[in-house]
Structure formats: C-alpha cells, structure tokens
Structure 1
Amino acid sequence: MPPSTPRAALAAAAQRFTFSATPRLDAELLLAHALCITRERLLLSLNDWSVPAAFDALVERRAAHEPVAYLTGTRAFWTIDLHVAPGVLVPRADSETLIEAAVAHFAGSSGPRRVLDLGTGSGALLLAALDQWPKASGVGVDASAAALTIARVNAERLGMADRAQVIAGGWHGTGAAFDLVLCNPPYIEADAALPAEVRDWEPASALFAGADGLDDYRRLAPLLPAQIAPGGVACIEIGSAQGERAAALFRAAGLGVAVRRDLAGLDRCLVVTP
C-alpha cells in the first residue's frame, strides 16, 4: 500500500533514490510538481495535502534514473527558471561559474552590449546573461534542432525573444565580434564512466569530445580571436582536470587565458581575452 501521508511518501521516495546526491530534495521537487505548487509552499504546508496518484508515476521514473529536471520540465539557473526536456543538457550550478566570471570581468562598467552563446542548448547561459544585463542582446547557436526549439521557448517564456536570437550552427562562429562569448562545450572523455542519469538520458552530443575530451576546444580555439571584441571576454566551461591542457590550446591561438574555479574549488572556467 502506498504511503498515506505526504511526509511518509517523501521518506519512502527518498529511500528509493539512494543513487542521487540529493534524494530528499528530489522527492520534494517531484511531490511539489505533482501537486502543481512550489517546493517552498509544499514545505510550509506539508500536512495540508494528500498524495496525488501522479506522484507514484514520477517516483517510478526517477527510480529509473530519469533526471528530475526532465520530470518536472524546469530547472533553476542563475536568476532564471528554464524549461528543460530530453534533447538538451540539464543546466548545472557549476556552469554558473561562467556568469560569475563575466560579472567579474565587466565589474564597474555598463556590461556587455552583445553576447554570443556557442552551443546554447536550453539557452541557459545566454538568457542568464541577458537577465543579468537587461540592455544587452545576444545570439545563441546550436546544431541540435531539439535544443533550438527549447532555447526559443525559453527566450519567449522569459520575455527575451526580442533580445535573444537563436540560430542553427556549429563551431563555425558568426563572423562578428561580441563583448561576451559564453560556451559550455562537450568535454567528457569518450570512455568516461558516468552516472546512469547522465549516460542514459542526456544527449551524448552535448557530453563527449573525443578520447581526451578536448576535441571541441581544438575547434573553438582558432575561432575565438575573431569572435571577441576589444575589451571583451570569452568564458568557457572545462572539466575539473582539464585546466592547463585546455588553456594551452587557446594560448596557442594568441589569446590570454586565466582559469577560474567553481564553488567547490575545482577548475571550471577558462577566462579568455584577446
């Protein structure tokens, strides 16, 4: 018999999510989604609710390692909430390091006027930057039709469709220089062991980049000198063990490079300047 109270249902669900680093949080997000309320409201009024049948189905799907963001259709990132679905990488807090690096670069100024997001996916980096700098406009580029659709939906939902252009393309650039270039390329080694919720659910094209995980950096490095405007910056995500190897590729292209760490103290972002 299913647990009869929300508190018991949450506890039972969390016990099934032992593969997750946040089993209780996962359960709370799924129950709130099933009830069509926020997690905050759920926690403040937990005893006021009954457990809907939809929760059981969500628990079963999460127990099969389906990402919570795909189940709820949403993910918080920086100052925005994004629509997320299969076909795009789930935005991660680690990627906020790129926005932090951009904020630091433009501190004391009016910020970037033009933003480019290469491999935009859900539009997370582009739209977070446009939310940070309301007078800026930008372009998001992606090769995936699914990603382009989701990024455009997010731009519309966030009221940024007039400032965010989302276009099809790969690592060929746009032929124009931008004040801020953002990029979270694939950087995982082809034979790397990944959690099932990543390996089995998220798009491989957004994850893997050759035997050493550096293939996409090799394509990006020659592109960037023409894409960064004078005084501008590119903030590029890296794997935690790739800092100096990835940086060397951009230095070889004549660019200045510093490595920025995330909140866990791990190398996470190349800060690239002309």
Structure 2
Amino acid sequence: MTPVRLLGAADIRTLAAELDVTPTKKLGQNFVVDANTVRKIVQTARVTGGERVVEIGPGLGSLTLAILETGARVSAVEIDPRLAARLPQTAAERGVPDGHLEVVLHDAMTVEELPGDPTVLVANLPYNVSVPVLLHFMRTFPRLERGVVMVQAEVGERLAAGPGSKIYGAPSLKAAWYGAWRLAGTVSRHVFWPVPNVDSVLVAFERAETPAGTLKERERTFRLIDLAFQQRRKMLRQALAGALGGSAARASEILESAGVAPTARGESLSLADFLAVARAQAAHG
C-alpha cells in the first residue's frame, strides 16, 4: 500500500481557500492542522488495518487520512456538500487506495445507515452538538464497540464524570447507559484552525457487552434523569413527583421500593439507581 500523506497546516488552508470554506461557529468547525495530534487520536482508538471506522464531520480530511493510514476503511459522515465532494479526491491524491473511503452526505444528528457496518467511532466532534450526536450514534448503531472522540474539555469531563461530582449530570448518565467512558488525553487549542477559545480533551468509550435494559426502560430512565437534573437542587421526592404518582408522598413510596432514599438528589444516584426507579415506576403502574 502506498504510504498515506497527511495534511499539514498549509495544505488545510490551501484546501479551504480552493473550496471557499470559512470555518463557522454555527457548524462548530475547527480544523485540526497538526499531524501528530490526529495520529494520537487514532492510536488512542487502537485502530488497525481492516477495521471499519465511522468518522463524524471529517471536514477537510486531516483526521480521516490518519485513520486511513492504518489500512482501516472509513465511512465519513459530512453535512457540508463542498467538503463531502472534495474528500474522496483529497484521499486519492494522498495515496489512499480505492474503496477504503466512503463519504455519506448527511446530518450526523439524523443519519440512520452507514456503509460497511462500522465497529469503531473516531471523530473531532463539533462543540455545539457533541453530546446529542454521540447519543444518537450509540443508540442507532449498536455494532459500535469502542471509539475515541475529541470534544470540548467541559463536555468530555461531564461524559466521564461519576456520581457525586459537581459536573455529573444527564450526559454522564445517558452515556453510561451504553458503556464505560473515560478521559484519554488533553489537546492543545493551538492545533486547531481557527484557534478556539476552549480547551479540548479525548474521551474513549467501550460499549457494554450487554444492554443496561430494554428500549422501554431506557425511555423511562432517561425521562427520570432529565427531570432529576432539571431541578438538581431538589430532593428526588419533589423533582420526580410529577412522574412518580403525582405527589411527593407517592414518589417517596416508589423511590423507597427501588432502594433509593426519597431525600437524595439526582447527582448522588448511579445509572443502576435510576434504572431501579424506572422499573419501580413501571411496576406501580
């Protein structure tokens, strides 16, 4: 296989000028211009030759080429028609063999099918939609076994947070439904063009071998999580009263039957606790 040539800062600016692309805050675009950084992301994700990888928002292709450099095959989901049309040409010019890259022109928030049925997710996620996009992919593509995403530091810390932390919340719990998440490194803001005004981190995940619960239980659990953290200062017997019987007294009964203290707050509960409450809610009609 011909060695794949990665993009440098000058290459990225040349491509952007050719396509008349200006990174926009609306799409959360910040292009990585450092080859060492994209290789670090791919190495952290343990991508190997022959694997099927999905990349969200490939942009001008800096991370895409680093994934393809391993010999993996990539399905890249891109919302911008100009970027989607140019990426296969860039890959070919840089030594990527035919058939190793497929570009899907689609909004990552609503895509339902991916060529190649990928098992690994690698992405530099737009800051403004990173959590909704991640949850959509975990829900929609159950064959995704592991992955690494680069996100805003605050978002990554929330995804990896555990019970009792001030930053623990709905994103932490909903991500935990699908598996284990951990911080896997920091990324300097100076490897991006344009330079963002926030720091970034790498977050790695491994999907759980068995689902936490059924689809119906997931819906109930996520609804309870949302209610608990919309009023995170309130005790659960108050925050969940509307969902659990309509009164604090009835909510207390259901919480106690699930083994959860009615006076607890959402930030102290694990995913297993919320799932137990959802099951108790169902049992009590």
TM-score of the superposed pair, with normalisation by structure 2 = 0.49
Q: In 2, Cα distance between the equivalents of 1:271 and 1:98?
A: 15
1:166 equivalent in alignment to 2:103: yes
Q: Which blocks of at least 5 consecutive residues in structure 2 are unaligned?
A: 1-7, 24-28, 161-171, 190-198, 208-285
Which residue number corresponds to residue 55 of structure 1?
Answer: none
Alignment of 1:229-244 (within 5 A): 229=143, 232-244=145-157
Alignment of 1:127-138 (within 5 A): 127-131=65-69, 133-134=70-71, 136-138=72-74
CA contact (8 A) 1:228 1:234 kept: no
Deviations 1:115-151 (A, max 9, x none): 11111111222221111x12x2111111101111231
Which residue number corresponds to residue 251 of structure 1?
Answer: 175
Task: State the one-letter code of the partner of 1:122.
Answer: L
Q: In 1, Cα distance between the equivalents of 2:57 and 2:137?
A: 14
Q: In 1, Cα distance between the equivalents of 2:121 and 2:183?
A: 16
Q: In 1, Cα distance between the equivalents of 2:157 and 2:35?
A: 18
Alignment coverage as a number of residue pairs = 168
Which residue number corresponds to residue 60 of structure 2?
Answer: 122
Cα–Cα, structure 1 residues 141 and 219, in superposed 2: closer, same or farther, change >3 Å?
Answer: closer
Structure 1 segments (4+ residues) deviating >6 Å: none
1:153 equivalent in alignment to 2:153: no
Cα RMSD for the two superposed structures: 3.4
Deviations 1:189-242 (A, max 9, x none): xxxxxxxxxxxxxxxxxxxx2xxxxx3312321322553646x42211111232
Task: State the one-letter code of the partner of 2:60.
Answer: S
Deviates more, 1:170-179 or 1:150-159: 170-179
Which residue number corresponds to residue 260 of structure 2?
Answer: none
TM-score of the superposed pair, with normalisation by structure 1 = 0.51
**Identity across the alignment (%):** 17
Q: Which blocks of at least 5 consecutive residues in structure 1 are unaligned?
A: 1-67, 77-81, 188-208, 210-214
Which residue number corresponds to residue 5 of structure 1?
Answer: none
Task: State the one-letter code of the partner of 2:87.
Answer: A
Alignment of 1:206-221 (within 5 A): 209=128, 215-221=129-135
CA contact (8 A) 1:177 1:226 kept: no
Q: CA deviation at 1:249?
A: 5.9
